[in-house]
A and B are shown apart, each in its own frame.
Chain A
Amino acid sequence: MSTVVQVEGLTKTYDGGFEALKNVSLDIKEGEILALLGPNGAGKTTLISTICGITSPTSGRITVGGHDVEKNWRAARDLIGLVPQEINLEPFEFVGNTVRFSRGLFGKPRNDAFVDQVLSDLSLLDKRDARTSQLSGGMRRRVLIAKALAHEPRILFLDEPTAGVDVELRRDMWALVERLRADGVTIILTTHYIEEAEAIADRIGVINSGELLLVEEKDALMQRLGRKELTIELSQPIKEIPETLKEFNLTIGDANTLTYVYDATGERTGITRLLGALQEAGLTLADLQTHQSSLEEIFVGLVQEDAA
């Protein structure tokens, strides 16, 4: 897959001196779904706004489809559709009109059939002649998506698309993202819901305090998720690990616990052998506990590491 958005050494310092992005570099591949995960105020929206041309970078370089967003902004912006976090719509405008407006604004000739198709894909066709102020919050968000799709963009930015959205609409949104990906649209979404990133993303980037902490294939992250810990509580405390148990790489926890780390997704976990070896070594078990680290814990760990 080729790179469709390239961000190199991007820094953004706002007028007040707040450093929203610190030397961020990121390659987004064509056709992928990338989720940017981070707490509020992490810099997700600033990153998206800078790529889309709403915010000017302090330093660094961004290309979209090979076009520099500052020097060759027209060609770059042609490719981009943006769905903002806030639901901003002209209250007196009709749904169909506002979507047509967006298409024209992005330099595309009028095409009512296409606009109707977009509205229909978003289950908004019957609301075409309604005023945006008459719609529910979820529908207004869909109108924003329709506006962003009206000029047939190749890259779609969704800034917190499911914040404050009910479960049903969230599922609809995910299905829509899946359909768009099938059409070859590259999708970048920001979220602070880990389950959302887990459900639909190909890759996950974690951002905190303006720094991109990691960008990884979701599957690789899930492998890390597959790491499980077995905590063994012994009846008597031990000071050192017996020779026969060395191969299991056990660690001694506080007082009388041993910790064994294994891959739950692997063919062999080694648990049976370990238990046998423990018995042979003459150790008596008081309790067993297993624990799996979730994406959330990995995330919180990363963010805390970052803060420390």
Chain B
Amino acid sequence: MNWYGVAAIWRFEMARFFRSIIQSVVSPVLSTSLYFVVFGAAIGSRIPEIEGVSYGAFIVPGLIMLTVLQQSIQNAGFGIYFPKFIGTIFEVLSAPISSFEIVVGYVGAAAVKSMLIGLIILGTSFFFVDISIQHPFFMLAFLVLTAVSFALLGFILGIWARSFEQLNLVPLLVVTPLVFLGGSFYSISMLPEVWQTVSKFNPVLYLVSGFRWSFFGTSDVPIAMSLAAVLLFASACLSVVWWMFHTGYRLKS
């Protein structure tokens, strides 16, 4: 293993995070606070408790997931796309570093960054609502698994994208709707039966549901299914990444 190489990539990616600390940290904290004010305090006060949890607290896991997903994809996607765009990727491709090590560096940094932001949002939420975490171990496990698998997805998009527009297309057109329709702000039991069935085809539902279970002990789908879904998703992404490096897809000519 070329650990110095992994560390070099990891440190480089983390440095970008700290270089743009305002954009990295302040902006998610601000937007989350706005969600709390609008959905938690203003609208939430007129919404009855969901499964014994106040609406303000109910949306916390969904909000964290929403941000972690977006940040993981964005950070990993940008991390690998930018060197491709400006041409510095040649250095990584000519270095004695394996594709696995490259992925550990880029995806690891992106996942750590989004987890940090997730935890900051969690911290922020304590100022607005009263929440307790029933299963902290599972909470962390879901956070890690989600951050890693969506960073892998972002990495795939970053290799695939030929323009900044393409890079932003999938998060915008696919991921954001899936997150909003995946029960981030409601329990799917509030939906008509037909839409409950449709929702079960949305992979994000399993993440949000499992993550919410680790907070409140209630979920839309069984926790085992949530775990299975996130593991399945992570391995699908891993396979695609492996294939990309194996064939040199859009990396090597």
Report if A56-B252 is in contact (Cβ < 8 Å); known contacts: A97-B15, A105-B8, A107-B5: yes
**Is A107 a contact partner of B94 (Cβ separation < 8 A)?**
no
From residue A7, how far is it (CB to closest CB) to chain B in Å?
16
Residue from B15, B88, B248 with most neighbouring chain A CB atoms (10 Å): B88
**Is A92 a contact partner of B97 (Cβ separation < 8 A)?**
no
B211-253 at interface with A (beta carbon < 8 Å): 248, 252-253
**Is A78 a contact partner of B253 (Cβ separation < 8 A)?**
no
From residue A145, how far is it (CB to closest CB) to chain B in Å?
13
B202 located at the interface, meaning its Cβ lies under 8 Å from any Cβ of chain A in the complex: no
B19 located at the interface, meaning its Cβ lies under 8 Å from any Cβ of chain A in the complex: yes
Report A74-101 CB contacts with B as 1/0, cut-off 8 Å: 1111101010101011111100010011
- Chain B residues with Cβ under 8 A from A55's Cβ? 252-253
B95 located at the interface, meaning its Cβ lies under 8 Å from any Cβ of chain A in the complex: yes
Report A48-86 CB contacts with B as 1/0, cut-off 8 Å: 000011111000000000000000011111101010101
**Is A14 a contact partner of B4 (Cβ separation < 8 A)?**
no
B48 located at the interface, meaning its Cβ lies under 8 Å from any Cβ of chain A in the complex: no
Report if A89-B88 is in contact (Cβ < 8 Å); known contacts: A105-B95, A105-B97: yes
Q: Given the complex of chains A and B, what is the CA–CA distance between A93 and B87 in angstroms?
A: 14
**Is A90 a contact partner of B97 (Cβ separation < 8 A)?**
no
A134-166 at interface with B (beta carbon < 8 Å): 147
**Is B90 a contact partner of A77 (Cβ separation < 8 A)?**
no
Q: Given the complex of chains A and B, what is the CA–CA distance between A102 and B86 in angstroms?
A: 16
B12 located at the interface, meaning its Cβ lies under 8 Å from any Cβ of chain A in the complex: yes
Q: Given the complex of chains A and B, what is the CA–CA distance between A97 and B10 in angstroms?
A: 13
Chain A: which residue is nearest B95 at the CB level?
A105
**Is A104 a contact partner of B7 (Cβ separation < 8 A)?**
yes
Report A98-114 CB contacts with B as 1/0, cut-off 8 Å: 00111111111110000
Q: Given the complex of chains A and B, what is the CA–CA distance between A102 and B11 in angstroms?
A: 12
A15 located at the interface, meaning its Cβ lies under 8 Å from any Cβ of chain B in the complex: yes
Q: Given the complex of chains A and B, what is the CA–CA distance between A88 and B93 in angstroms?
A: 14
- Chain A residues with Cβ under 8 A from B12's Cβ? 93, 101
Q: Given the complex of chains A and B, what is the CA–CA distance between A55 and B251 in angstroms?
A: 9
From residue B240, how far is it (CB to closest CB) to chain A in Å?
20
B1-34 at interface with A (beta carbon < 8 Å): 2, 4-5, 7-9, 11-12, 15-16, 19
Q: How many residues of B contact A (CB 8 A)?
A: 27
**Is A92 a contact partner of B19 (Cβ separation < 8 A)?**
yes
Q: Given the complex of chains A and B, what is the CA–CA distance between A108 and B2 in angstroms?
A: 9
From residue A165, how far is it (CB to closest CB) to chain B in Å?
19
Q: Given the complex of chains A and B, what is the CA–CA distance between A86 and B83 in angstroms?
A: 13
**Is A105 a contact partner of B5 (Cβ separation < 8 A)?**
yes
**Is B91 a contact partner of A147 (Cβ separation < 8 A)?**
yes
- Chain B residues with Cβ under 8 A from A78's Cβ? 96
**Interface bin, chain A:** 35 or more
B169 located at the interface, meaning its Cβ lies under 8 Å from any Cβ of chain A in the complex: no
From residue B120, how far is it (CB to closest CB) to chain A in Å?
24
Q: Given the complex of chains A and B, what is the CA–CA distance between A149 and B91 in angstroms?
A: 12
Report if A88-B86 is in contact (Cβ < 8 Å); known contacts: A52-B94, A82-B94, A107-B97: yes
- Chain A residues with Cβ under 8 A from B95's Cβ? 77, 105-107
**Is A105 a contact partner of B9 (Cβ separation < 8 A)?**
yes
**Is A56 a contact partner of B96 (Cβ separation < 8 A)?**
no
Chain A: which residue is nearest B98 at the CB level?
A74
**Is B86 a contact partner of A91 (Cβ separation < 8 A)?**
yes
**Is A108 a contact partner of B15 (Cβ separation < 8 A)?**
no
Chain A: which residue is nearest B20 at the CB level?
A92
From residue B94, how far is it (CB to closest CB) to chain A in Å?
4
**Is A74 a contact partner of B4 (Cβ separation < 8 A)?**
no
From residue B96, how far is it (CB to closest CB) to chain A in Å?
4
- Chain A residues with Cβ under 8 A from B96's Cβ? 73-78, 106-107
- Chain A residues with Cβ under 8 A from B140's Cβ? none
B92 located at the interface, meaning its Cβ lies under 8 Å from any Cβ of chain A in the complex: yes
Report if A107-B87 is in contact (Cβ < 8 Å); known contacts: A73-B96, A77-B94: no
Chain B: which residue is nearest A147 at the CB level?
B91
**Is B2 a contact partner of A86 (Cβ separation < 8 A)?**
no
- Chain A residues with Cβ under 8 A from B19's Cβ? 92
Residue from B7, B8, B16, B97 with most neighbouring chain A CB atoms (10 Å): B8
14 A–B pairs (Cβ distance < 8 Å), ordered by A: A53-B93, A54-B94, A56-B252, A56-B253, A74-B2, A77-B95, A78-B96, A80-B94, A91-B86, A92-B19, A101-B11, A105-B5, A106-B96, A110-B4
Which A residues have a C-beta under 8 Å from some C-beta of B?
14-15, 52-56, 73-78, 80, 82, 84, 86, 88-93, 97, 100-110, 147
With A56-B248, A89-B88, A107-B2 known, 11 other A-B pairs at CB within 8 A are A74-B98, A76-B96, A82-B90, A82-B91, A88-B88, A88-B90, A101-B11, A104-B4, A104-B5, A105-B91, A105-B97
A-B interface, 8 closest residue pairs, ranked by CB to CB distance from nearest: A104-B8, A88-B87, A77-B96, A107-B2, A74-B96, A52-B94, A105-B95, A104-B4
